[in-house]
Amino acid sequence: MKIILQKDVINLGDAGEVKEVADGYARNFLFPKKLAIRASEGSTKMALHQKRLADLKKEKKAKEMKNLSSQIDGQSIEIKVKTGENDKIFGSVTSGDISNALSAKGFSVDKRKIDLEQPIKSLGEFKIKLRLAENVQATINLAVIGQG
């Protein structure tokens, strides 16, 4: 059965592609989850048009992220955290905290684009990578400072 993918499907293809799959796979998995629609002549043309629009949108987003990357790369931010005895942090500094600190400086970065292997649980300075788009990265300097 020929189908048009509505969303990216792992090990099958990307949204907008026309694929040949088994009837049962399409009926029992792809169609109920609205991952694909049956391919007809009209829907194939529509899918190709949507794919072109999605590619243009992706290009525009990549340009915006490259511009943001050039502005944000090398910026320094400080986050003040409450500390106890021996400068032990209560809680941790997460990607959400870093995103809020960047927003305060005028940069809108989604917390999911901040590459933290694990939350920061100590005072000090850190280099944080931001994955803004495919092949677009930036690095910021983060200083975690104790407060009381």
Give the chain's mean pLDDT: 87
Among 38-42, 67-71, 125-129, the minimum mean pLDDT is found in: 38-42
Say yes or no to pLDDT of 10 above 80: yes
Domains present along the chain, CATH in parentheses = 2-63 (3.40.5.10), 70-147 (3.10.430.100)
Residue in 50, 19, 59 with CA at minimum distance from that of residue 37: 19
Averaged pLDDT, 129-147: 88
79 close to 98: Cβ distance less than 8 angstroms: yes
Average pLDDT over residues 117-126: 89
Residue pointed to by tokens 């944000």: 72
Distance CA 129, CA 4 (A): 36
Name the pLDDT band for 148 (thresholds 50, 70, 90): low
> Residue 101: which of 124, 76, 125, 120 has the closest Cα?
76
Residue 89 has pLDDT above 70, yes or no: yes
Whether 45 and 108 have beta carbons less than 8 Å apart is answered as: no
pLDDT value for 39: 85
Q: What is the DSSP letter of 107?
A: -
